[in-house]
Amino acid sequence: MKNINKLPLLPALLIIFSLYACVPQKEVTHTKKQLAQVDINLIGHQQKMQKLNEQRQQKENDNEISDTASYKIKKFIDKTNTQIAELVAKNKILIGDVSVNKEDWLALQKALSFSREQEKLIGDKVSLIAELINRNTVIELDQDVIFGPGQYTLSPDVSQMISKMFAPVAKEINYFINKYPDFPLSLVLTAKGYADATTINKSSNLYQKLADRMKLSGKTDFTNEELNQELSNARAESVINLLKTFTVGKSPDGTSVKNILYLFEGKGEKFPSPKIDDYKTNDPRRRIVLLFWSIFPD
């Protein structure tokens, strides 16, 4: 009776043994080591992105990168860090399995292949962000040169001059497109206008034009600070409208840059550089338009 009860266990034991016996244990060990190395590389990317995030924040503090671009780069870094953490956590479960059956062996192989692909893609994106952050991504345009006194529109001659000034940036953007062809890129172009505290006479044409632009606010009387704010906004808008006519960053088939975002912002009498604290009332260093560009993976 005792021997009969044991007999049904034999086929089951043989099946279990055959499942484990057909799994190449040496290859399992080797594959686990390879997967562990990929995880080390991924964690290395996380550490690099932490340093890049610190550089990004410093450039934003120094007004050397636009707020929008800084936000989008930070969002990309956070998203990629989450992706890495989830991937490494899943891999640790496979690496830590003491015994591996046929099904687990196939999962281990798939995890290694997938993790390698993701590690390469993430590495390329980290390189792109590093190159972008370490480049000068802002152009300073002297308003006294590109705008006439009391004007905020651009003449054709000045427009041509700005297009030439922007040519090096176009080359930079094309450089990124050509170097990182494996994923779509987005481009952000931002103009920030600044003005000094020069008084705008209420009897001037400029006052009337600015008041007309501001009439939707419901006000009929404006402070000089508000007028300079609108003047800086109008000049930044003129620069961005000009850039919209360029075909910057587009490949012949138009697919290299997925999105191009154009933004403008008037900063009024604020100081363009936090590194300078000795501006005078009519300091020409405040009569500028800062043109920012940034390109990053979606």
Which tens digit of pLDDT belongs to each residue from 22-78? 677 888 889 999 999 999 999 999 999 999 999 999 999 999 999 999 999 999 999
Q: Is 4's pLDDT higher than 50?
A: no
Q: Are residues 142 and 287 in the same domain?
A: yes
Q: Are residues 149 and 129 in the same domain?
A: no
The amino acid occupying position 6 is K
Q: Is 142's pLDDT higher than 70?
A: yes
By the 10 Å C-beta count (0-12 exposed, 13-18 middle, 19+ buried), 218 is classed as exposed
CA torsion, points 63, 68, 70, 75, in degrees to nearest 10?
Answer: 160
What pLDDT, on the 0 to 100 scale, is given for residue 162? 87
What pLDDT, on the 0 to 100 scale, is given for residue 16? 45
Q: Are residues 278 and 180 in the same domain?
A: yes
Q: Which of 106-110, 199-203, 253-257 has the lowest mean pLDDT?
A: 253-257
Where in the sequence is the domain holding 216, given as residue range(s)? 138-297
At residue 291, what are phi and psi to the nearest 5 degrees? Answer: -110, 115
Averaged pLDDT for residues 207-213: 94
Domain-located, residue 150: yes
Q: Are residues 241 and 96 in the same domain?
A: no
Domain-located, residue 52: yes
Q: Give me the half-sphere count of Cα atoms (radius 13 Å) on the Cβ side of residue 276.
A: 11
Mean of the per-residue pLDDT values for the chain?
86
pLDDT tens, residue by residue, 75-96: 999 999 999 999 999 999 888 8
Q: Are residues 120 and 226 in the same domain?
A: no
* pLDDT-derived band at 7, boundaries 50, 70, 90: very low
What pLDDT, on the 0 to 100 scale, is given for residue 22? 65
Measured in whole angstroms, the distance separating CA 11 from the mean position of its chain's CA atoms is 60
Domain-located, residue 5: no
Q: Are residues 152 and 91 in the same domain?
A: no
Q: Are residues 147 and 280 in the same domain?
A: yes
pTM: 0.82
Point out the domain boundary residue: 133, 156, 174. Answer: 133
Averaged pLDDT for residues 177-192: 90
Domain count, the chain: 2
From residue 192, how far is each of 7, 77, 78, 151, 259 by CA, in Å?
84, 25, 27, 17, 20
What pLDDT, on the 0 to 100 scale, is given for residue 284? 81
